[in-house]
Amino acid sequence: MLFFSYFKDLVGREVTVELKNDLAIRGTLHSVDQYLNIKLENTRVVDQDKYPHMLSVRNCFIRGSVVRYVQLPPEGVDIELLHDATRREARGG
């Protein structure tokens, strides 16, 4: 649940979601659920030459299980908060 809460705090920010099939989509994080399914708005494909047909898509839903990485905005990373949260999670709290 740690990452779920964490990503919820990033709603409204610009992220890049990299899928396991190498497709990378940049967009505004619209919502995320407990399975880390991700909805993006104002999307654009990072490698447009490889995936030209995705160009037009404005918003999309990405299945959590196919996400490899989520690149976060640096200002969205609160290290102190993450430290605390991961410690709590490790304690099983």
Partner 1 sequence: MGLGVREIRCGGEPVLDTENGEELMRVQAGVDIALGNRPPESTGTLYITTRQVIWLSDADNTRRGYAVDFLSISLHAVSRDPDAYPIPCLYTQIDTDAGEDHDSDNSDSDSNHVQDLSNIREMRLIPSDPSQLDSLFEIFCDCAELNPEPTDEEEGEEHDWIFSADQMQDDQAEEEGYIPHNPNNTIGQSNGNHDLARTVLQLQINDKRFEDAEEIEDDRDGTRH
- Under the rule (CB under 8 A), what is the footprint of partner 1? 19, 21, 23, 33, 35, 37, 39, 43, 52-66
Nearer to partner 1, 59 or 86 (CB): 59
Which residue, chain included where needed, has tokens 């740690």?
2
Q: Which helix (H) or strand (E) holds 25?
A: strand 24-32
Nearer to partner 1, 78 or 89 (CB): 89
Amino acid at 43: T
Min CB(78)–partner 1 separation in Å: 27
Nearer to partner 1, 20 or 83 (CB): 20
Min CB(30)–partner 1 separation in Å: 10
First-residue to last-residue Cα distance in the chain: 11
Min CB(75)–partner 1 separation in Å: 27
Min CB(60)–partner 1 separation in Å: 3
Asked if residues 76 and 92 have their Cβ atoms less than 8 Å apart, the reply is no
What CA–CA distance (Å, rounded) separates 39 from 31?
5
